[in-house]
Every structure is written in C-alpha cells, then in structure tokens.
Amino acid sequence: MDNERCATIKERDIRSPKFWKELVQSSMVHKGLSRSEKGSCWDQAAATYDDLEACSDYQFQVKTVLETLKERGVLHKKARVIDIACGTGIYALRMAPLVEQVICLDISKAMLSRLQEKAEKADIRNIKTILADWRKFETDEKFDLVFVSMTPLLRSMENVDRFLDLSKRYVVFISWAGIRQNELVNRLSKEILGKDPDTTKMDIHFLFNYLYALGLAPDLRFFRGCWERTRDADRHAEAIIWQLEMHKELSDDEKERIRNVVAGLAHNGKVTSKTKVRIAFMFIDKEADAFTC
C-alpha cells in the first residue's frame, strides 16, 4: 500500500462505523446487486436449491447452527423468529418446531412455494411466508431472533442496520468467508467471463468490522468443507448458468457451450461436483456486554 493511501486511511477512524459503511459502498463489494436482488433470478435457482441437503458437510453446518441457538436459549416456545431471504426454508423448517412462529420473507415466489410444500409435507403449521422485497418490507414488530443467511442483502450496511433494529436481542448472519472454489465453475468462468468468479463480494470481514465498530462483539465460527452435489447433467448445467449470470447475462451460444461441457462430464446422465468452501456463522447478542463487575 503506497504512502498516500496509508495517510488517507490514517486520517479516517477505522473504528468508526461510518468508515466501514463508506468502504463497502465505494468498493467492488457493493456492485452487482441489482440482478441478484430480483425475484426472477432466485426463481431460477429454486429447483436445485435443496440439493445441498444431501451433503454431509452442509448437514453438519446446519445442525451445528441449530444446536448453538438451542444451547444459547434463543429457540424456545415463546420465541418469534424472522428468516429474511429464507429461500426454501432449510433453517426455518428446523427452527419452527422449537418456537412460536417463524416469519419467512423472500423475494422469490418459487422459493416460497417450495418452502410451503415442504412445510405441508412435514405438517408444520407455524410458518408464515411473505413474498416481498426486503428493501420495501415494513413491520412494527421486533423479533426475538433475526436470521439472515447466504444472501446479497448482507453486502449493504444499511440493510444490516435494519436487521439489528428489527431484533429484540439476537441476530444471526451466515455468509461466505473467503473460500468458494469449484474447478468446473472456475474453468467455465475463465472461458466465458474471462476471469475467476469474484468470491469477495459477500465476504464476512466487511460485516464483522462494521459490527465491531458499532460496539458489538459477535461470536464467530467458521465451517470448512466440500459441498458435493450429484445432479442430472441438464440440471447441473442450468445451475452453473444461473451462477455465472450473477456476473453478466449470457448469450444463447454461451449457455449452449456450458451445457455441452457439462454433458461431456456426465456418467449415466449424472454429474458430481465439489465446491471447497469456508462459511462464517456470526451470532450476535445485543445484550452480551450488559454486565457489571
């Protein structure tokens, strides 16, 4: 880092929330939000969103998050939870039997439809789904737990402020933490986009530093592992197309190129893919420092 850049940083207080909010706003971490925050984008992913539930490393992550919340006394029969950008309800469906109600908010109709199907199959009746854009969502209620997992909404510190304000006490953020490596996706990204996928846009260190500057001290745990999925070749190709289109809209020729590459890797019509990941689980107790000596 050059001396001019160092001087600029020294002139600003890195302990200030304003510093981190402005850094996020001015950096690459805040770009590319428009498509990833459209319901139609996530509707495309709904069909393959639950594939991860068959992966043992992912199962361990979900189980550990839920066990931690139970151990902390967050999930109890009088607790009201809001799961923002809930997707197909992977966490919500597991929290629901332990609490009074889970409000599930998402911008994707297809995601919520899948969630409702699973809730009905499991005879879970205390989930309420809300189809809405979080940026336009309003409520006067404060929730015992605000749960936000793996969503571009965490790129905006204005959103984070609202998440914190919506909570009586507890907040959970789950997001990428620097590692997301899939050989096939990386290869196709280089060939079609001319670069590796940008895995820093949702990285947890921006969020942690902002919360710390606010005076909070989140508990932080990392999950490391391989997310393995086995899918029909067509289904797998569409999932990769969806992922790359987070960066730019692909032409019909580019999509066909992806389908041909994936089809060439298939065995008995199936493709197995592994993604090396590091995921951050951030638990916030807004009253954690309300103690006396």
Q: What pLDDT, in 10s, does the model give residues 9-29?
A: 555 688 899 999 888 887 754
The pTM (predicted TM-score) of the whole model is 0.90
Task: Please indicate, yes or no, if residue 26 is contained in any of the structural domains.
Answer: yes
pLDDT band at 271 (very low <50, low <70, confident <90, very high): very high
| Amino acid occupying residue 246 | M
Task: Please indicate, yes or no, if residue 281 is contained in any of the structural domains.
Answer: yes
Task: Please indicate, yes or no, if residue 72 is contained in any of the structural domains.
Answer: yes
Residues in CB range of 5: below 8 A, 6 or more apart: none
Range of the domain at 29: 13-180+199-224+277-285
Task: Please indicate, yes or no, if residue 149 is contained in any of the structural domains.
Answer: yes
The pLDDT assigned to 140 comes to: 95
Rg (CA), the chain: 20
Total domain count, the chain: 1
Q: What is the rounded CA–CA span in Å between residue 113 and residue 128? A: 12
Task: Supply the CATH number for residue 220's domain.
Answer: 3.40.50.150
Please report, to the nearest 10 degrees, the dihedral formed by the alpha carbons of residues 15, 16, 18, 24 taken in order. 10
Q: Which of 31, 61, 36 is nearest to 200 (CA)?
A: 31
Sheet holding 143-149, edge to edge: 127-131, 101-106, 80-84, 143-149, 167-181, 270-285, 219-232
The pLDDT assigned to 60 comes to: 97
| Amino acid occupying residue 219 | D
Task: Please indicate, yes or no, if residue 256 is contained in any of the structural domains.
Answer: no
Q: Does residue 32 register a pLDDT over 60? A: no
